[in-house]
Amino acid sequence: MTTSAPAGPPARPAAARVPVMADVARLAGVSHQTVSRVVNGQSNLRPATRERVEEAIRQLGYRPNTAARALVTRRSATIGVIGSKSGYWGPSTVHRTIQAAGREAGYFVSSVNLPNHTRASLTDAIDHLRDHAVEGIVLIAANDDALEVARAQEAGGTPVVVVEGDPDRARWTVGVDQVAGAELGTRHLVDLGHEDIAHLAGPQEWTEARARLLGFQTAMYAAGLRPSRHLVGDWSARSGYEAGREIAERADVTAVFCANDQMALGLLRALSEAGRSVPGDVSVVGFDDIPEAAYLIPPLTTVRQDFTAVGRRAIEILRGAIAHDPDRPEPARLIRPELVVRASSATPRRK
């Protein structure tokens, strides 16, 4: 009688082989060097060739070996982002988009979030990121200190892209056309027939606030109207509420253009508490189009900023700055805004 040997452990299934660059080249029908040029962000390729390689990368799920690439290219494949702890919708959306777009472009993204953007804190954050060998930095803070810090870094070899910065004061900037957006919002009120339009401005050390004030004034003068004295908030709903209590006492004001939706939110409450109906007594237009804007009472007419496009454009500009390629086309710095008309704006009541 024979006995069989005890069965051994079940054989493990063969692990799927991780795709390598040669697999991408074979599927795309190009050379290994062409795939390498696409992965490393070089621009001297035909668009059709680049698209074919990128499609092969997607199909195979190929992931470049960033550590090996860094040894060969002497590049860290790391970029830095300096953001804010404020939690405002716009900067937060831009930050998330930059992180996603940076990873898609093959970069590791290192973030620093600051409670406030002073010259000292921004300089420390940039020094911290440079100590970690980042190839470039996106700065999501468009106040005067941020612009001065970014300009001071230009000679240091690490490009800094400023989101919503002043193109005349920083080499690399990207953002929404704030002046055009403010003109859209103000012109909407003018076209409805409003003449006594107040502006609730943002803090004037911010380039966005100054640009929106300029757009408001430009649209008013173009309509042959004299801009009234503007009030200044700090972007918060609380400051909008405090300004709104003052505006509610001005019977001559029939419309308000707010520099952001958060301040508009506070303004709406102040007007409601004062018995001033919106839009019956006062029309209100905001700026940003936060997710809650469509669900306020009444739903808020506002100027929409495409924050996702801003974040992706920031990565495009940063990649060009890192590449130092004079033949690489530079993406447009400004993105057009869009007016979203809802129930908070209407023709003024006849006096």
Say yes or no: 215 and 237 in one domain. Answer: yes
Count up the domains in the chain and report the number.
Answer: 3
Tens-of-pLDDT digits for all 351 residues of the chain? 444 445 544 544 445 677 888 888 999 999 888 887 787 666 677 888 888 988 888 888 887 665 455 545 556 789 999 998 877 889 999 999 999 999 888 899 999 999 888 889 999 999 999 888 899 999 998 788 888 888 888 766 789 999 987 777 788 899 999 999 999 999 999 999 999 999 999 999 999 999 999 999 999 999 999 998 899 999 999 999 999 999 999 999 999 999 999 999 999 999 999 999 999 999 999 999 999 999 999 999 999 999 999 999 999 999 988 887 766 777 888 999 999 999 999 999 875
Greatest CA separation for the chain: 113
Say yes or no: 263 and 189 in one domain. Answer: yes
For residue 6, is it within any domain?
no
145 class by beta-carbon count within 10 Å (0-12 exposed, 13-18 middle, 19+ buried)? middle
> Is residue 199 within a helix (H) or strand (E), and if so which, with residue range?
strand 197-201
Say yes or no: 242 and 288 in one domain. Answer: yes
Say yes or no: 183 and 138 in one domain. Answer: no
Whole-model pTM? 0.78
**How many CA atoms are closer than 13 Å to the CA of 216, on its beta-carbon side?**
30
- Those residues whose C-beta lies under 8 Å from the C-beta of residue 94, and which sit 6 or more positions away, are 140, 163, 307, 310, 311, 314
Tokens for 78, please give them: 């790391």
Single-letter amino acid code for the residue at 67: A
Say yes or no: 225 and 319 in one domain. Answer: no
| CATH code for the domain of 45 | 1.10.260.40
**pLDDT, tens digit, for every residue of 335-346?**
999 999 999 999
Residue whose entry in the numeric block shows the structure tokens 């993406």: 331
Question: Rounded to 10 degrees, what is the CA torsion of 202, 204, 209, 214?
Answer: 120
Bridging pattern class, strands 338-340 and 301-304:
antiparallel
Say yes or no: 157 and 202 in one domain. Answer: no
Tokens for 169, please give them: 């004061």
Say yes or no: 45 and 120 in one domain. Answer: no
For residue 13, is it within any domain?
no
∠ CA 298-351-181 to the nearest 5 degrees?
A: 45
Domain boundary, last residue among 306, 323, 346: 306
Say yes or no: 136 and 203 in one domain. Answer: no
Say yes or no: 204 and 218 in one domain. Answer: yes
Tokens for 214, please give them: 């300029």
Tokens for 133, please give them: 């060998």
Q: b vs e for 119-141, b when ≥16 Cβ sit within 10 Å of the residue's Cβ?
A: eebbeebbeebeeeebbbbbbbb
Say yes or no: 107 and 249 in one domain. Answer: no
- Do the Cβ atoms of 244 and 267 come closer than 8 Å? yes
Single-letter amino acid code for the residue at 334: L
For residue 351, is it within any domain?
no
**Cβ neighbour number for residue 218 with a 10 Å cutoff:** 17
Say yes or no: 216 and 288 in one domain. Answer: yes
Say yes or no: 301 and 239 in one domain. Answer: yes
Domain that holds residue 60: 21-64
For residue 39, is it within any domain?
yes
| CATH code for the domain of 201 | 3.40.50.2300
For residue 345, is it within any domain?
no
